């Protein structure tokens, strides 16, 4: 293969890492590109699934002896512990790699320390190459590990005037098939899909990731979570079928807050303990409002249809805002047209003080 720059190799490693999105939890997504001493690409790899070989191991297997004296370009600091697989830092040392270039240091105290191991063995270590880009691709895992709770994405669909259903309660379909296909792709990237019991009672959703063209299920299904303080989910609800794992999170099991409803902070902590690093919050407006009021939403993905209702249920209920100074301020990070609809992503701004 032709020689490439370190910057080009890291760009490729970040692209490779993205292939594992949705299948590696509780592990991060990681990509690795190995260059030989002349700067030619001799190995590539990414972490495909939890328990499987790490990105560095896959790349080293491809490179063989050509890795000796070369450079490993990796999106996350090589791990330094033995879990279901061995420590990647030691594997790089044993392969005779002369230099390791890292985008993001590992915030996990269990796995961190790879850089020290490498340097102690005489390996040159460089950090921070395309750090922001690599961190964005691994944002759910990085956020989860730093906060001991899953990264929460609130997804909603609404008309241009902010309605999620008509006055008579009907809501199928506000957005286009293209938008719905896009949502199913989004579901395939997360570890859990969450709704409130009100959504289950009103819509009886399946909450699976599937191909809308033929109805087939994706190979990997996220955990389905129903926030159900009083245990009202019907025995024959579709979320109880065998298509995916389901947790009906009741107040008796999780614990309740002062309002008598499921303690959302505790709920996220329990999900983290189960290996969930990312949650797609899909409904309904009351649950979304409660998460926003508690400051537990990390990203918003909205699908806005070029339609108007004028009346009906809003996409968001009480979010704890009592006056304009308490408004929840967002920063747009992406605006894309999906079929006739507009999809935006935004993140809450950090409040001052």
Angle CA(212)–CA(219)–CA(346) in degrees, nearest 5?
65
Separation of alpha carbons 230 and 243, rounded Å? 24
Task: Give Cβ neighbours of residue 236 (< 8 Å, ≥ 6 apart).
Answer: none
Describe the crossing of helices 6-17 and 55-63 by its angle, rounded to 10 degrees: 120
- The verdict on whether residue 289 carries a ligand-binding annotation is yes
- The verdict on whether residue 203 carries a ligand-binding annotation is yes
- The verdict on whether residue 164 carries a ligand-binding annotation is no
The per-type count for the chain, helices as H runs and strands as E runs, is 11, 13
Tell me which of 8, 15, 56, 177 is the catalytic residue. Answer: 56
- The verdict on whether residue 285 carries a ligand-binding annotation is yes
- The verdict on whether residue 278 carries a ligand-binding annotation is no
- The verdict on whether residue 251 carries a ligand-binding annotation is no
Helix (H) or strand (E) holding 199: helix 197-203
- The verdict on whether residue 274 carries a ligand-binding annotation is no
Separation of alpha carbons 58 and 52, rounded Å? 10
- The verdict on whether residue 282 carries a ligand-binding annotation is yes
Half-sphere CA count of 144, side-chain side, radius 13 A: 26
Separation of alpha carbons 78 and 114, rounded Å? 5
Q: Is 124 a catalytic residue?
A: no
DSSP 316: -
Answer yes or no: are the C-beta atoms of 297 and 154 closer than 8 Å: yes
Separation of alpha carbons 353 and 351, rounded Å? 7
- The verdict on whether residue 341 carries a ligand-binding annotation is no
Separation of alpha carbons 217 and 114, rounded Å? 39
Instruction: Let me know if 167 is exposed, middle or buried by CB neighbors in 10 A (0-12, 13-18, 19+).
Output: exposed
- The verdict on whether residue 290 carries a ligand-binding annotation is yes
DSSP three-state, residue 227: strand
DSSP three-state, residue 10: helix
Task: Give Cβ neighbours of residue 227 (< 8 Å, ≥ 6 apart).
Answer: 194, 195, 196, 197, 249, 262, 264, 267, 287
- The verdict on whether residue 147 carries a ligand-binding annotation is no
DSSP three-state, residue 26: coil
- The verdict on whether residue 88 carries a ligand-binding annotation is yes
Q: At 3, phi and psi to the nearest 5?
A: -70, 150
- The verdict on whether residue 199 carries a ligand-binding annotation is yes
- The verdict on whether residue 288 carries a ligand-binding annotation is yes
* Cβ count within 10 A of residue 307: 14
- The verdict on whether residue 54 carries a ligand-binding annotation is yes
- The verdict on whether residue 229 carries a ligand-binding annotation is yes
Whether the ω angle into residue 26 lies within 30 degrees of 0, i.e. cis, is yes
* Residue numbers belonging to the annotated binding site for NADP(+): 157, 173, 199, 229, 284-290
Binding annotation for Zn(2+)? 54, 79, 88
Q: Binding site for substrate: which residues?
A: 171, 187, 203, 207, 210, 282
Please give the positions annotated as active site. Answer: 56
Binding residues: 54, 79, 88, 157, 171, 173, 187, 199, 203, 207, 210, 229, 282, 284-290
């Amino acid at each position: 293969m032709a020689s490439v720059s370190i910057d080009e190799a890291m760009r490729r490693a970040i692209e490779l890492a993205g292939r594992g999105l949705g299948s590696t939890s509780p592990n991060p997504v990681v990509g690795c590109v190995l260059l030989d001493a002349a700067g030619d690409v001799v190995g590539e790899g990414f972490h495909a699934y939890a328990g499987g070989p790490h990105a560095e191991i896959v790349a080293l297997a491809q490179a063989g002896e050509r890795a000796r004296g070369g450079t490993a370009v990796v999106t996350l600091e090589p791990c330094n512990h033995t879990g279901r697989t061995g420590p990647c830092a030691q594997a790089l040392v044993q392969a005779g790699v002369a230099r390791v270039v890292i985008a993001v240091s590992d915030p996990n105290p269990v796995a961190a320390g790879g850089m020290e191991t490498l340097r102690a063995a005489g390996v040159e270590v460089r950090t921070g190459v395309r750090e922001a880009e690599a961190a964005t691709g691994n944002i759910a895992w990085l956020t989860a590990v730093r906060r001991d709770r899953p990264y929460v994405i609130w997804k909603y669909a609404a008309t241009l005037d902010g309605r999620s259903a008509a006055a008579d309660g009907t809501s199928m379909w506000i957005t286009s098939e293209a938008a719905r296909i896009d949502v199913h792709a989004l579901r395939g990237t997360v570890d859990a899909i969450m709704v409130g019991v009100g959504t289950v009672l009103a819509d009886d959703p399946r909450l699976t990731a599937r191909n809308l063209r033929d109805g087939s299920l994706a190979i990997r299904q996220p955990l389905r979570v129903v926030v159900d303080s009083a245990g009202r989910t019907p025995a024959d609800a579709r979320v109880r079928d065998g298509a995916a794992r389901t947790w009906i999170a009741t107040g008796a099991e999780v614990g309740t807050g002062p309002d008598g409803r499921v303690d959302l902070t505790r709920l996220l902590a329990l999900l983290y303990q189960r290996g969930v690093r990312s949650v797609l919050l899909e409904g309904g407006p009351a649950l979304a409002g409660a998460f926003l009021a508690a400051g537990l939403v990390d990203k918003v993905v909205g699908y806005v249809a070029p339609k108007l209702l004028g009346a009906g249920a809003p996409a968001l209920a009480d979010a704890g805002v009592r006056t304009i100074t308490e408004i929840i301020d967002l920063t747009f990070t992406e605006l894309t047209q999906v079929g006739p609809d507009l999809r935006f992503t935004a993140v809450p701004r950090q409040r001052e003080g």
